[in-house]
Amino acid sequence: MSIPTQVLPDHHRHCDDLFVAAEESAQRGDWAAAAPAFKRFQDQMTAHFAAEEELLFPAFEAATGMSAGPTQMMRHEHEQMRSLLSQLAAACDAHDGDSYDGVGETLLMLMQQHNMKEENILYPMCDQALGAQAQSLAAKIGATLEKGHA
């Protein structure tokens, strides 16, 4: 049985791999490779945020009645990451390796901390709360993540 919290950690790792590919190209100053690599990373992060904010979080909140707890913090961190992604896009467009490195380092630390909180705290809470709807939710999350591949 596929559950949402099995799909999402795998996607975290996929995003991490895309981040590394873009970062390596930027560090080499290969902006022709860095730009599309960054775009793939940004698209996948956007799809991941959508899967959580539009599907997982509302289902968890409906099941628990808890909307001011962990999902609120995760949304806040998503906003921080969106801002950093915009800064990375600007650095990439400007071929500014120093800015890309600095913002990338900040984003990497935030992503690592964020993913640990989701995988070790929020996702297990979701597993407990979602029960019978987990299977259909996993399929919807998978479809949302696939949209990021387009």
Kindly report, residue by residue over 134-148, the tens digit of the pLDDT. 878 888 998 899 877
The answer on pLDDT for 74 being more than 60 is yes
Would you give the distance in Å from CA 132 to the centre of its chain? 25
Which CATH number fits the domain that encloses residue 62?
A: 1.20.120.520
Please check the confidence at residue 128 and state whether its pLDDT lies above 90: no
Q: How far is CA 143 from CA 49, 53, 137, in A?
A: 13, 14, 10
Q: Which two tokens stand for residue 29?
A: 């100053």
- pLDDT tens digits, one per residue of 47-72: 999 999 999 999 999 999 998 889 99
Please tell me the distance from the alpha carbon of residue 115 to that of residue 108, in angstroms, as a whole number: 10
pTM check: above 0.75: yes
pLDDT tens digits, residue range 75-108?
999 999 999 999 999 999 999 999 999 999 999 9
3-state secondary structure 92-135: HHCCCHHHHHHHHHHHHHHHHHHHHHHHHHHHHHHHHHHHHHHH
Domain count, the chain: 1
Amino acid at 109: M
Mean pLDDT score, 9-20: 96
| Structural domain containing residue 114 | 4-147
